[in-house]
Amino acid sequence: DARVTQTPRHKVTEMGQEVTMRCQPILGHNTVFWYRQTMMQGLELLAYFRNRAPLDDSGMPKDRFSAEMPDATLATLKIQPSEPRDSAVYFCASAQAGVYEQYFGPGTRLTVT
Protein backbone atom coordinates (compact mmCIF):
# COMPACT_ATOMS: atom_id res chain seq x y z
CA ASP A 1 0.00 0.00 0.00
CA ALA A 2 2.01 2.97 -1.32
CA ARG A 3 1.65 6.18 0.62
CA VAL A 4 3.37 9.48 1.29
CA THR A 5 5.18 9.58 4.61
CA GLN A 6 6.07 12.65 6.64
CA THR A 7 8.24 13.12 9.69
CA PRO A 8 7.89 14.27 12.35
CA ARG A 9 4.14 14.03 12.87
CA HIS A 10 4.24 16.60 15.64
CA LYS A 11 6.80 19.25 16.46
CA VAL A 12 6.80 21.77 19.29
CA THR A 13 9.60 24.30 19.27
CA GLU A 14 10.48 27.70 20.59
CA MET A 15 10.53 30.85 18.53
CA GLY A 16 13.83 31.34 16.77
CA GLN A 17 14.65 27.65 16.45
CA GLU A 18 15.21 25.87 13.16
CA VAL A 19 12.58 23.36 12.06
CA THR A 20 13.04 20.73 9.37
CA MET A 21 10.17 18.66 8.03
CA ARG A 22 10.72 15.66 5.79
CA CYS A 23 8.61 13.95 3.19
CA GLN A 24 9.02 10.71 1.31
CA PRO A 25 6.85 10.73 -1.82
CA ILE A 26 5.30 7.62 -3.29
CA LEU A 27 7.88 5.70 -5.27
CA GLY A 28 7.67 6.66 -8.92
CA HIS A 29 5.90 9.96 -8.34
CA ASN A 30 7.85 12.82 -9.90
CA THR A 31 5.97 15.84 -8.55
CA VAL A 32 6.04 16.87 -4.89
CA PHE A 33 4.02 19.64 -3.24
CA TRP A 34 4.25 21.38 0.13
CA TYR A 35 1.07 22.86 1.64
CA ARG A 36 0.31 24.69 4.84
CA GLN A 37 -3.09 24.46 6.53
CA THR A 38 -4.36 26.95 9.09
CA MET A 39 -7.83 27.81 10.29
CA MET A 40 -7.53 31.35 8.96
CA GLN A 41 -5.96 30.72 5.55
CA GLY A 42 -7.08 27.20 4.78
CA LEU A 43 -4.82 25.16 2.50
CA GLU A 44 -2.04 27.17 0.90
CA LEU A 45 0.48 25.90 -1.62
CA LEU A 46 3.98 26.78 -0.49
CA ALA A 47 6.11 25.17 -3.20
CA TYR A 48 6.31 22.31 -5.61
CA PHE A 49 8.93 20.31 -7.45
CA ARG A 50 8.95 18.24 -10.59
CA ASN A 51 11.75 15.78 -11.20
CA ARG A 52 13.45 17.34 -8.15
CA ALA A 53 13.55 20.82 -9.72
CA PRO A 54 11.65 23.62 -8.00
CA LEU A 55 8.84 24.85 -10.27
CA ASP A 56 7.04 27.31 -8.05
CA ASP A 57 7.82 28.56 -4.57
CA SER A 58 5.93 31.83 -4.78
CA GLY A 59 3.73 30.87 -1.84
CA MET A 60 6.66 30.55 0.50
CA PRO A 61 8.11 33.35 2.65
CA LYS A 62 11.60 33.44 1.18
CA ASP A 63 13.34 35.02 4.08
CA ARG A 64 12.78 32.12 6.45
CA PHE A 65 11.47 29.15 4.46
CA SER A 66 13.40 26.89 2.12
CA ALA A 67 12.43 23.71 0.30
CA GLU A 68 14.68 21.16 -1.35
CA MET A 69 14.68 17.71 -2.89
CA PRO A 70 18.11 16.20 -2.26
CA ASP A 71 17.00 13.06 -4.09
CA ALA A 72 13.88 11.53 -5.60
CA THR A 73 12.88 9.89 -2.32
CA LEU A 74 13.22 12.87 -0.01
CA ALA A 75 11.79 16.39 0.11
CA THR A 76 12.52 18.80 2.93
CA LEU A 77 10.93 22.00 4.16
CA LYS A 78 12.97 24.10 6.51
CA ILE A 79 12.01 27.13 8.59
CA GLN A 80 14.79 29.23 10.08
CA PRO A 81 14.14 31.07 12.32
CA SER A 82 10.66 29.86 13.26
CA GLU A 83 7.96 32.24 14.51
CA PRO A 84 4.65 31.64 16.32
CA ARG A 85 2.72 32.54 13.14
CA ASP A 86 4.30 29.50 11.46
CA SER A 87 2.20 27.24 13.68
CA ALA A 88 0.14 25.12 11.31
CA VAL A 89 -0.18 21.68 9.78
CA TYR A 90 2.24 21.17 6.91
CA PHE A 91 1.29 18.65 4.26
CA CYS A 92 3.38 17.04 1.60
CA ALA A 93 1.68 15.55 -1.46
CA SER A 94 2.99 13.71 -4.48
CA ALA A 95 1.70 13.04 -7.97
CA GLN A 96 2.69 10.80 -10.83
CA ALA A 97 3.64 12.14 -14.24
CA GLY A 98 0.55 12.37 -16.45
CA VAL A 99 -1.81 11.60 -13.56
CA TYR A 100 -3.45 14.55 -11.88
CA GLU A 101 -4.49 13.31 -8.47
CA GLN A 102 -2.31 14.36 -5.58
CA TYR A 103 -1.74 11.95 -2.74
CA PHE A 104 -1.24 13.55 0.64
CA GLY A 105 0.89 12.57 3.57
CA PRO A 106 -0.47 12.61 7.12
CA GLY A 107 0.93 16.08 7.81
CA THR A 108 3.28 17.58 10.39
CA ARG A 109 1.61 19.61 13.11
CA LEU A 110 4.00 22.40 14.03
CA THR A 111 3.60 24.51 17.15
CA VAL A 112 5.96 27.41 17.70
CA THR A 113 5.81 28.96 21.16
Separation of alpha carbons 4 and 80, rounded Å: 24
Q: How many residues does the chain have?
A: 113
d(CA 86, CA 37): 10
The distance of closest approach from Cβ of residue 43 to another protein in the complex, given in angstroms and rounded to an integer, is: 4
Q: What phi, psi does 13 have (nearest 5°)?
A: -145, 165
Query: CA 85 from chain center: how many Å?
Result: 16
As measured in angstroms, the least distance from the Cβ of 88 to another protein is 12
Segment near another protein (CB under 8 A); pick from 11-19, 63-71, 73-81, 91-99: 91-99
What's the closest the beta carbon of residue 11 comes to another protein, in angstroms? Answer: 14
Q: Which is nearer to another protein, 15 or 55 (CB)?
A: 55
Least separation in angstroms between residue 55's CB and another protein is 8
| Residue 31 is a binding residue for another protein (CB under 8 A) | yes
Paired with 6 in beta bridges are 23
CB 64 within 8 A of CB 110: no
Cis before 106? omega within 30: no
Q: Which stretch binds another protein (CB under 8 A): 21-29, 41-49, 64-72, 75-83?
A: 41-49
Residues that bind another protein in the complex, under the rule CB under 8 A = 31, 33, 42-43, 45, 48, 50, 55-56, 89, 91, 93, 95, 100-104, 106-107, 109
